[in-house]
Structure 1
């Protein structure tokens, strides 16, 4: 899809700075951030909802890993499964 249309909006300087900083920290352009927000909003989602859900899943799987390390003796096969889940959740959260 060719991206050739331009939309102009007015926002405060403070919001512009926040948007640019967020885009920079995310390693994306401001346009990518705005397009992502539009896509999520038009699908009926709150902008950033999927990212927050992915981070929550990562937090839960990491907590399971910590619990597995606390067990004595450590259940290695269970720990392997949990580590694989942490890896999947991290990839989703960092994408």
Structure 2
């Protein structure tokens, strides 16, 4: 995989997740589970590295952005800090 770009982790709450799995369906299912919890810039395909087993994908999470389904499940939303804009944090940067 390519090196992580520092813009993707320049602020607290931004996360880069590299997934390695046996097959594309498994890797994409993990990404889907992450996207159900947090704002996620998702990959639409997996990659294969020559000489390495399985497949890989990278997705980018913003843990600062609430997902509507969290409140539906009774999970408390984090309080906004004074420097965050109304309605949540900045958009996810792929």
Question: TM-score, normalization: structure 2?
Answer: 0.24
Higher helix share: 1
Higher strand share: 2
Which is greater in Rg? 1
Question: TM-score, normalization: structure 1?
Answer: 0.23
Could you say which structure has the greater relative contact order, defined with CA pairs below 8 angstroms and 6 or more residues apart?
A: 2
